[in-house]
Amino acid sequence: MQELKKINGELNAFSNISTSVDKFPFSVKDNICVKNVETTASSKILKGYIPPFNATVVERMLEKKFGFLGKTNMDEFGFGSFGTNNENVARNPFNNEYVAGGSSSGAAIATSILKYHVAIAESTGGSIATPAAFCGVTGFVPTYGTVSRYGLIDYANSLDKIGIMARSIDDVKITYDTIKGPDRYDATCTDNKIGNHDNKKIFIIDQMLDGVEENVRSHFDNFISKMENEGYAIEEKSVDVLDKAIASYYIVAMAEASTNLAKYTGFKYGFKNEQYGHGYNRFFTEARNEFGKEAKRRIVLGTLVRSASVKDKYYIKALKIRRIMLNELNKLLSGGFIASPVMPMLTPRIDDSEKLNPVEVYKMDKLTIPPNLCGLPHVSFPIAYRDSMPIGVQVMTSQFNDYAIMDFAKIWEEKFEYKYRYNIGEL
Amino acid sequence: MEEKDFDRLLEICRLKLDEKEKESVKKDIEDVIKYFEILGTVDTDGIEPAYHPIETMARIREDLEIKCENQKELLDNTKTFRFYVVGPKV
């Protein structure tokens, strides 16, 4: 514990750590409720919020052989790709001058530094794949609706998926089998059977390689060659609508986020305004000053795209494009997996990431958005190390075929040695 | 975006920004909206919006009375007076 606390002081993986754990430890992203443990989604507006209940995923983990280790750091409400939109900037365990990725930054760092541990994380548009890739661990996002969202602090209801990070795909599978399944408290949670169908084919999509830096592309090509040697047929395809994925995703995500954030009024959860004599509008406006800049930006944009005068132009249009994308990707994925790099560039330095404007940051999510917008299961895992920093790949499959990408990741895992800078808890 | 339209938008959002932050957020919003225009090039006539990524059946829970065991804990997150949650004037 002492070593963990020391390294946590440097990297900001955990917002709090249990005093002791006598079972296999699991961490929980700070936007998922754990009974009697402060849960803030890294937002000042939720400071002091103590949930009186466990999220369904937490309840299921505790019922099995897992012990709660702590809450992990994240971008405020999940709004970020680098783990820097919060009070305590998350730092990469391979080099603390670099970003850890977001928004499940703490989950990825914790997985990278702890020898025995699984992380319960959450993805809306890339919040598991990206930090998993930057921190060199395995990240898994299941088919939308196969894991209950009860107890998750909503970012965007039609996009949020609770997923897992671990050091091995076997640990991911054990955890997924523990937390998945229908839940009476989540009406969108399905009881569909999870399949395992592998056509021994990998599609590479032109639009997903446009703009990928050469030093990332070369490692990806090398990975594809190795999987070809494992018996996978490789086929290049073009899916034009993917060029519209970023805009469609951000419109849907911000529209949903702006409605979800309306519940933080300064007297029900977390932060208390205390100026009860002020009129409701003034009271509410004062309380919402606690949101960070990115949250405010998303509230404004989400409110704008839902306005009656432009709703069809932006919000409904984005949902129609999601339908086109769903149809095209589902058709393609019935014949094989789609593989791509996770991010179009190498892990950025923290100071460089802070210089990017919002559109530049949103564009970084180009490769992780398609599976997230369409609720497709996907996995990311390390495929190479460059200047001692990991580089990841993302593999997606059709809805409810989650076990197939786990087996795919297992093939790679048996051939490639994953590296870690820390092994806290090693016996 | 006109200044008065942006002010109205902030009012609807119940957000009050200082001048510096307002200027910066306004510019960001304009840049992002400009980027969103890319969607105009896609023909979506006759396409149904996908509100959800998966087809979900409307499942309704049985209408049962359930005893709430943790009323006190639920109220612990609020300021209370007697049995009431204290809130702002309407």
Residue B55 has a pLDDT of: 84
Quote the CA–CA distance of A119 and A351 in Å, as a whole number: 27
Residues of B in contact with A191 (CB under 8 A): none
Q: What residue numbers bound the domain in which B10 lies?
A: 1-42
The predicted complex's ipTM stands at 0.93
Tokens of A284: 């509410």
Residues of chain A with pLDDT under 70: 427
Question: Residues of A with CB below 8 A from B44's CB?
Answer: 317, 320-321, 324
Alpha-carbon gap: B82 to the closest alpha carbon of chain A (Å): 16
pLDDT at B89: 84
Q: Mutate which of B13, B71, B73 to disrupt the A interface (most A C-beta within 10 Å)?
A: B13
pLDDT, position A74: 98
**Does residue B5 form part of some domain?**
yes
Q: Is B83 part of any domain? A: no
The string of DSSP codes covering A111-165 is: HHHBSS-EEEEEESSSTTHHHHHHHT-EEEEPPTTSB--TTB--S-TTT-EEEEE
Q: Provide the residue-wise pLDDT of chain B in tens; the chain has 90 residues.
A: 899 999 999 999 999 999 999 999 999 999 999 999 999 999 999 999 999 999 877 777 788 898 887 888 888 899 988 888 899 987
Q: B interface mutation test: which of A246, A301, A310, A362 has the most B CBs within 10 A? A: A301
Q: Which two tokens mark A309? A: 């005068």
- Distance from C-alpha of A218 to C-alpha of A215, rounded to nearest angstrom: 6
Residue B63 lies in a domain: no
- Those residues with Cβ within 8 angstroms of residue B89's Cβ, 6 or more apart along the chain or in another chain: A276, A277, A278, A279, A280, A283
pLDDT in tens, A90-108: 999 999 999 999 999 999 9
Check residue B66 and give its pLDDT. Answer: 85
Amino acid present at A230: E
CATH superfamily of A2-243+319-413: Amidase signature (AS) domain (3.90.1300.10)
Give the span between the Cα atoms of A321 and A330, in whole angstroms: 14
Query: Which pLDDT tens digit goes with each residue over A146-163?
Result: 999 999 999 999 999 999
- The predicted pLDDT at position B15 comes to 96
Is there a contact between B21 and A289 (Cβ–Cβ < 8 Å)?
A: no
Alpha-carbon distances, residue A330 vs A103, A214, A406 (angstroms): 27, 29, 19
Q: Which of A190, A248, A277 sits opposite B39 (nearest CB)?
A: A248
Phi/psi of residue A171, each to 5°? -65, -35
Residue B30 inside a domain? The answer is yes
Q: Domain residue spans in chain A? A: 2-243+319-413
- For chain B, what is the domain count? 1
- d(Cα B68, Cα B88) in Å, to the nearest integer? 26
